[in-house]
Structure 1
């Protein structure tokens, strides 16, 4: 239910999960779990499971129909919409849950086969600012880093509480290890002295919404006191001379009253971070969903770059995944939403923009929506507007294990297997320099008529008369169906071919393959033989920046639009702290509870 996907062991009786415990054999979580894992039985077993394909009648009630009839009717209606209005009239929302990612390549390929790029996903409004910045600085919106928490000397945490949100692998153990090590330093900056802050060596209670002045003041100290890593900047970055002026915007003395901090506190943090052999940052939704979010994400990367901490051990690193090689390649063009003109970022659109794309009049409005692995009426803002929009569609299909609020509005509801009833995996990288892959085996049978998402997408496209021969995920699926292999294993088998070709020597060195037979087959068998996950191999510490996608292989520090925003930044003399009689509270949303399951929540 979360991106970490810690290894667990489950006890199953009569096809029910009755007990959950951490899997100490897991090479990446090593016996660590949080309370989310303990609750998986409740998400698996409930009275809202969809047991068969359903069709909604004119009176709003649902009747069970067979798969052939359901996919046939859906395919016929999709074909009519395609013929009359084209692919731009079709959208998909969801596509892959937090730990159930093996349907994602099929969801994307399904949408492409229909001639659409309108993919609405939580990532389209959760992390878009950092994806956009990554695209300009690193050459790819999908190239993201995380802190090398296990090897950093200094960890600066801003806008997140990993002790509760578990936003990193083995979060509480990592926080405790850094806090207890006299040679390492944990710095937490947050308006609230939360659980992680209580473990910090240095805690700064910053005023909400003033992070931009804090970042600018850190950069000011580092530049003015000549603490930059000049060799790193010269070798691995471009355009520093065009960017350096941002260091003049805010001094610690200027930032201190705005941030409700002491100037010397800011100086101490800047010096500690810059002088550390290796330092890393860990920021999350407290920054990403705050004012000046674009500027803050950019300034964090400038801070890391000028101190030589991007793509190095103990800094922030670009981890390598396993299945990315078989994901669909880049888009032919960047689409935009029809009404607000919002461009795709990392291939996604923000779900909150979908209702107006459906409701606003026009020949090219969205007329058909496929909901898969998502519950928009529960997960996204303005449920009433979503309800109004969904009722206005010509076709709404929900592919789901549960009869959700969105499913109750659908024309068709198609029962999907849960992640405990099929082979599944999380595609998020789980370490550095280690590369892990965890292929979870099915532990429950589930409803007899439930199918995997890849099969459902394939059936609908076939009934719509859409050619999928040029799409790799569906080609692999066809091979699996011909050999009677569990469907998504074909995707894993295909990924093994790419991965083994790239990492043959490292796999051999780690004992995963012999180097004498078919490397891909040996790798596939090793993955199957280790349901607790397998440590495939390690990447090399000294070549992490080789993954940059910029033409010159360097970090591009100048992002013109953000620099213009910083030039126009109105820096106040003081912050108005007067309570507003109509708005007496400051509301900060994000990963703040033990029970957040994001769009997996039902």
Structure 2
């Protein structure tokens, strides 16, 4: 397939999913540039998107279902055999032990969310209850706090903020909001605006900042408590906002009045006057936006840090205003309302997700409620979760494991069956990371190429598996088939009637949409059928905002999505809508969270020292760099520099350990050890080192040799190092030892 046309699609390497346009030649993404017609990114993209052909065309692609033999090797089988055997295997687990013993991990990789929407029908048909994904390694502590404060997720409007605060976040490298580098440059060049960065590393963003609060690793909570303490103690709070829109602020402010600011500044290693100046800048600003990320979300006190950094903008009234923090619409919710405890270890289930660190423990036991089967979709938990060795042992103990992916990943090699998916550029796709305010956007991406022979898009895979279960017959779907041929309105009426009358239809909605509406959609977009249902929900949830965006109802929104390959604005809010999006009945922010206030007061005790004489250095694993991209690029040839993922160490540590730039060193933790090249840099504090993400993946090179560049970070991490509330791992705070290995 060759075309000189520029076809719109999106980058799939971070949550921004910037719009791009692509020219295809002989099956390759030959030329790539930003899509100026995309309503969110407006032509912006970073360097990583330009190398997406390394994902699309590489030797790791699977082209046939694979079944593991008794000796651990794999054999190719046909699709019909795979579907029948997998369906029968899961039915056996369900009938023998209960469907809740079937665990699901995934829901689509980065930018690969549409396929994950269809897995729910198969899982519900089996009675599966428990699931997890990468968000449980990062965002569940923040989600727990958000749920109690206001019931939803917030995002800062950095494009217009007078003061932008980044906590454990380097958006110059990790992006995460539209046109990130453009916006950062605009902030840095405007003398009326300020940037505050809380990070132990002198990151690209920190270099641009007006206030770099360079905390000691693991002491962010003391820094944030001191900042909030200054706001209260120096009367910098927005009293009118707190009185009208917040409840529970008195208890919070009473706790913050007790914060010894000078002492906490000393504990976190930040100059007191610099810290006070940053707090005063927040207190005096007309608008403030805050972004927290993995630097604190995967470190000690992560949930407390999520709470404390939100106090900065709530206490100062920076909500529901231009340049402030906002609740936002969602085209599809990333989190569910399910809470509870896991069946074996009693780990917290937050926003419907089991903590990733608890997964091996929920399998490696003789407990009758242990997970006995697992489905993994577009994810690689054997590589990406803490303590890879424990994950491999656990997955190997399962009675049935099925992986759906484009490549034979580290996780796929442990499966009983591997089903080859079409790539993200060979099928309709979308992302559900829609976080912007006041205008929020959604893009349905068209396939640029036909599916590689032997592969199937995930909607078709899940549909075949549901059919094999025999839970719905053709007669039950016939009225919907007929209604779909008569048009959207007729289909909507028939669909609502079918859902109301037939509980099985209601349980299997994504499958039903794919089977009945899907065949009527144009241009091979059957896999987009689930987006019709999401458009209806969106129009019901935000009717005025959808109409302001130009869509009369859910059908009109869906038609606009189909007609807008570069993306569409699906909601357009007004700032006062923020208050209506608060889920509490009184539409007020509930600031007092007793557990958090208890932990805030507990900071008065000395910070616990997690390093030891044996492991004296704090290792941060998974650092994002210019040439790292999680696991999606298995082909290492896309990297133009840092090909082996160097261990970054401070000048002081290098001198003390006798390390030279480029020398090999051994880094060891309680969980394991690895040899790696060293990069000496002034960006790291003494006692702090960093390894990048995206390394340690094997790949067959041009010579036919298997290469494994860099270190797999989770060979060095432990499932025991986790947040007490959310179970999120402490990937950014791993006690380690570094020793010289000699000159390379």
TM-score scaled to structure 2, two decimals? Answer: 0.75
For the pair 1:283 / 2:292, whether they are aligned, the reply is yes
Once the two structures are TM-superposed, the CA of residue 434 in structure 1 deviates from its matched residue by 0.9
For the pair 1:95 / 2:107, whether they are aligned, the reply is yes
For the pair 1:587 / 2:624, whether they are aligned, the reply is no
5+ residue gaps, structure 2 = 1-12, 473-503, 635-744
Contact kept in structure 1, 2:405 and 2:421, CA below 8 Å: yes
2:505 aligns with one of 446, 456, 469: 469
Once the two structures are TM-superposed, the CA of residue 337 in structure 1 deviates from its matched residue by 2.1
Equivalent in the alignment of 1:373? 378
Following superposition of structure 1 onto structure 2, how do residues 93-172 of structure 1 map, counting pairs within 5 Å?
A: 93-139=105-151, 143-172=152-181
Contact kept in structure 2, 1:473 and 1:491, CA below 8 Å: yes
Q: Tell me the distance in 2 between the aligned counterparts of 1:145 and 1:503.
A: 16
Following superposition of structure 1 onto structure 2, how do residues 17-416 of structure 1 map, counting pairs within 5 Å?
A: 17-139=29-151, 143-324=152-333, 330-331=337-338, 334-416=339-421
Once the two structures are TM-superposed, the CA of residue 36 in structure 1 deviates from its matched residue by 2.2
Equivalent in the alignment of 1:479? 516
Deviations 1:244-265 (A, max 9, x none): 2221332332223212222222
Once the two structures are TM-superposed, the CA of residue 503 in structure 1 deviates from its matched residue by 5.7
Deviations 1:463-486 (A, max 9, x none): 234465223222211213453763
Contact kept in structure 1, 2:121 and 2:466, CA below 8 Å: no
Q: Tell me the distance in 1 between the aligned counterparts of 2:412 and 2:526.
A: 25
Contact kept in structure 1, 2:466 and 2:511, CA below 8 Å: no
Residues 529 and 78 (structure 1), Cα distance of their counterparts in 2 relative to 1, 3 Å cut: same
For the pair 1:545 / 2:579, whether they are aligned, the reply is yes
Residues 212 and 552 (structure 1), Cα distance of their counterparts in 2 relative to 1, 3 Å cut: same
2:602 aligns with one of 568, 573, 589: 568
Equivalent in the alignment of 1:449? 454
Q: Tell me the distance in 2 between the aligned counterparts of 1:29 and 1:58.
A: 50
Name the SS of the counterpart of 2:506 in structure 1.
coil
Equivalent in the alignment of 2:429? 424
Once the two structures are TM-superposed, the CA of residue 168 in structure 1 deviates from its matched residue by 2.2
Q: Tell me the distance in 2 between the aligned counterparts of 1:339 and 1:501.
A: 39
Residues 504 and 568 (structure 1), Cα distance of their counterparts in 2 relative to 1, 3 Å cut: closer
1:3 aligns with one of 15, 18, 34: 15
Q: Tell me the distance in 2 between the aligned counterparts of 1:151 and 1:237.
A: 24
For the pair 1:494 / 2:533, whether they are aligned, the reply is yes
Residues 601 and 107 (structure 1), Cα distance of their counterparts in 2 relative to 1, 3 Å cut: farther
Identify which range, 36-45 or 254-263, moves more after superposition: 254-263
Contact kept in structure 2, 1:159 and 1:283, CA below 8 Å: yes
Contact kept in structure 2, 1:252 and 1:264, CA below 8 Å: no
Equivalent in the alignment of 1:440? 445
2:561 aligns with one of 527, 532, 539: 527
Residues 178 and 544 (structure 1), Cα distance of their counterparts in 2 relative to 1, 3 Å cut: same
Equivalent in the alignment of 2:664? none
5+ residue gaps, structure 1 = none
Deviations 1:343-368 (A, max 9, x none): 21111112332222222112222111
Contact kept in structure 2, 1:105 and 1:328, CA below 8 Å: no
Note the aligned Cα RMSD (angstroms).
2.4
Q: Tell me the distance in 2 between the aligned counterparts of 1:394 and 1:252.
A: 55
Contact kept in structure 1, 2:340 and 2:350, CA below 8 Å: no
Once the two structures are TM-superposed, the CA of residue 110 in structure 1 deviates from its matched residue by 2.9
Residues 23 and 554 (structure 1), Cα distance of their counterparts in 2 relative to 1, 3 Å cut: same
Identify which range, 587-596 or 551-560, moves more after superposition: 587-596
Deviations 1:489-526 (A, max 9, x none): 2112223334445666655655x45x5xxx44443332
Q: Tell me the distance in 2 between the aligned counterparts of 1:274 and 1:86.
A: 55
Bigger RCO of structures 1 and 2 (CA < 8 A, at least 6 apart): 1
2:27 aligns with one of 8, 15, 23: 15
Contact kept in structure 1, 2:54 and 2:633, CA below 8 Å: no
Contact kept in structure 2, 1:421 and 1:443, CA below 8 Å: yes
Once the two structures are TM-superposed, the CA of residue 216 in structure 1 deviates from its matched residue by 1.8
Contact kept in structure 1, 2:518 and 2:528, CA below 8 Å: no
Once the two structures are TM-superposed, the CA of residue 455 in structure 1 deviates from its matched residue by 2.1
Q: Tell me the distance in 2 between the aligned counterparts of 1:536 and 1:79.
A: 40
Q: Tell me the distance in 1 between the aligned counterparts of 2:400 and 2:263.
A: 56
Q: Tell me the distance in 1 between the aligned counterparts of 2:340 and 2:213.
A: 42
Contact kept in structure 2, 1:165 and 1:591, CA below 8 Å: no
Contact kept in structure 2, 1:424 and 1:439, CA below 8 Å: yes
Residues 189 and 50 (structure 1), Cα distance of their counterparts in 2 relative to 1, 3 Å cut: same
Residues 9 and 229 (structure 1), Cα distance of their counterparts in 2 relative to 1, 3 Å cut: same
Identify which range, 93-102 or 259-268, moves more after superposition: 259-268
Deviations 1:509-553 (A, max 9, x none): 55x45x5xxx44443332222211123441111221211112322
The number of aligned residues is 588
Name the SS of the counterpart of 2:251 in structure 1.
helix
Deviations 1:382-432 (A, max 9, x none): 222222222221111111111112222221111111111111111111522
Once the two structures are TM-superposed, the CA of residue 222 in structure 1 deviates from its matched residue by 1.5
